Chains A and B, each alone.
Chain A
Amino acid sequence: MVMNSKKLDMLIIGGGPAGLAAAIKAKESGIDNLMVIERSEELGGLLHQCIHNGFGLHYFKEDLTGPEYALKFINKVDKLGINYLLKTMVLDITPDKNVFAINSENGLIKFSPKTIVLAMGCRERTRYNILIPGTRPAGIFTAGNAQRLINVEGYIPGDQVVILGSGDIGMIMARRLTLEGAEVKAVVEILPYIGGLIRNEVQCLNDFNIPTFLEHTVTEVYGSDRIEGVEINRIDKNGKKTLSTGRYIKCNTLLLSVGLIPENELSIKAGVEIDQVTGGPIIDENMQTNVPGIFAGGNVVHVLDLADNVSLESEIAGLSASKYLSGELHRSHKKIKVSAGKGIRYVVPHYISGKEGINLYMRVSNPEENATLKITDKFNNKIIYEKKFQALKPSEMVCTMITEDNINLINNESGEIIISCNKKE
């Protein structure tokens, strides 16, 4: 039974860096009747467990830790008097934008907002997403879960650790565990290169002399009650383990840093179309999804490397939702599809509906040196944009700005532009 029903101008789902940035931007653009819904007991999301520095270098021009970065947004939310509900879980969103949420104080709550900003973030891939063979003992954690245990709850998961995956969280946990007295016996990466930012390779792995095995993966887990060890093996280009390279590593903990998945169960219920590559909603440059009035920002759209970019993209979502409410967000132009071509894994946004300059965020498929990014008009194969890069890595998001002039070069008959990464000839 629905206990009460609330009419709102804007409902923001998620109180992490994405949701807060969207809410602040919306409130500053004059939207008062808005609400942020957060499932945990405080605002700020995962930033509270990210106690390391490196946040805010772009956004605030300051080197902040996760909690400090979160606090800047939380203080602003309080100062602006933005309404939020904590310990509240959104259960359902209907395509006509009715939202059902639940908490222990109010029971079931129905919201009927005019616009919704999806800001649910992402979650970690687990052992079952990557199918690691072996027994099923205790002691296998996702890296982010271990991060929460160590930095917030005050528990060390184990003292002999193998980390599978060299994403940023994995490397940061290698340093964190070493500082707390654990022995990190290996960081194991299936790809021929480190998965996260180079700065983390330097300050988390190299600084602490942590053994790193590239082109390797865990091929067996040993132990019955608690994990006792893992076998790692070299993996060839076809993804098969090479014989006679097996190595047994004794450990009592295995951390998995094997990727993140945007959390879009609610988006799908609302009828939002999902890009199978990013795992997030298909959006235009206003961060609007295919459902009019539903916007999305941050890691729910595509997994970003930096919280700063989460904030920046979500501000666009908040601002666009405000414009939608005031009727300023009309599509006066033809929608142009933005496609990933050769060497590009994905590009966001998926559509351009206006004529103003915008940022394109993309990931390359493979590491490339001295490469050129080209945007080609599919209609007449004309190049509308070109930029050279010294080095491009799949682990580092490429952000490039295309101007109004570039967009004006697109032929009126064209419906699609293609971005490609081209090696030097």
Chain B
Amino acid sequence: MNIKKIICLGCPLACNINVEINKDEIMRVRGAKCKVGKKYAIQECKEPRRVLTTTIRTTEADRPLLPVRTGDSIPKESIAECMKIMSKKIISPTIKAGDIVIENISGTGVNVIATGNLFGSEK
């Protein structure tokens, strides 16, 4: 039996979680103070996933970048490919916070969404 030590990224508490693994099968998860932690630890053993946040270029000279995020976590493996796709994208100023900027990025099933408005708040 193997014990995999995981530090939860679910919240700033950062619980130390021990996952007991026997022949690729998760036997027990210990140390998580909440459900999010347990779920995170199991996912981290199977396929680590992260929320990716970055910026995408815009057509506007005085606001050259718009902050974006993946709507959900994506496999850690696909982060580099997703960055490459986003580096080629240029968006128009009509995009608002919450809008989808790229659908199903790199086949992850996750959309990239804008997290800010180009020009101040929504009025």
Q: Which residues of A pack against B, CB within 8 Å?
A: 42-43, 48, 51-54, 57-58, 63, 65-68, 70-71, 74-75, 77-78, 150-154, 179-180, 197-199, 202-203, 207, 305-306, 396
Contact = CB atoms under 8 A, between A and B. Distances in A.
Nearest to A203: B9
Nearest to A201: B7
Contact of B7 (A68, A77, A202): A202
B122 interface: yes
Interface in B63-97: 64-65, 67, 69, 76, 79, 83, 97
Contacts of B79: 179
B50 A203 contact: yes
B68 to A, nearest CB: 8
A71 B117 contact: yes
A396 B11 CA distance: 13
B51 A199 contact: no
A75 B117 CA distance: 12
Interface of B: 7, 9, 11-12, 14, 50-55, 57, 64-65, 67, 69, 76, 79, 83, 97, 115-117, 120-123
Given A78-B121, A151-B65, A198 B97 contact: no
B50 A68 contact: no
A131 B67 CA distance: 35
Contacts of A197: 12, 14
28 contacts: A42-B120, A43-B120, A43-B121, A48-B67, A51-B53, A51-B67, A53-B53, A53-B69, A54-B12, A65-B67, A65-B115, A66-B67, A67-B97, A68-B97, A68-B116, A71-B121, A74-B120, A77-B121, A151-B65, A153-B64, A154-B65, A179-B83, A198-B14, A199-B14, A202-B9, A203-B9, A203-B50, A396-B12
Contacts of B121: 42-43, 71, 74-75, 77-78
A45 to B, nearest CB: 13
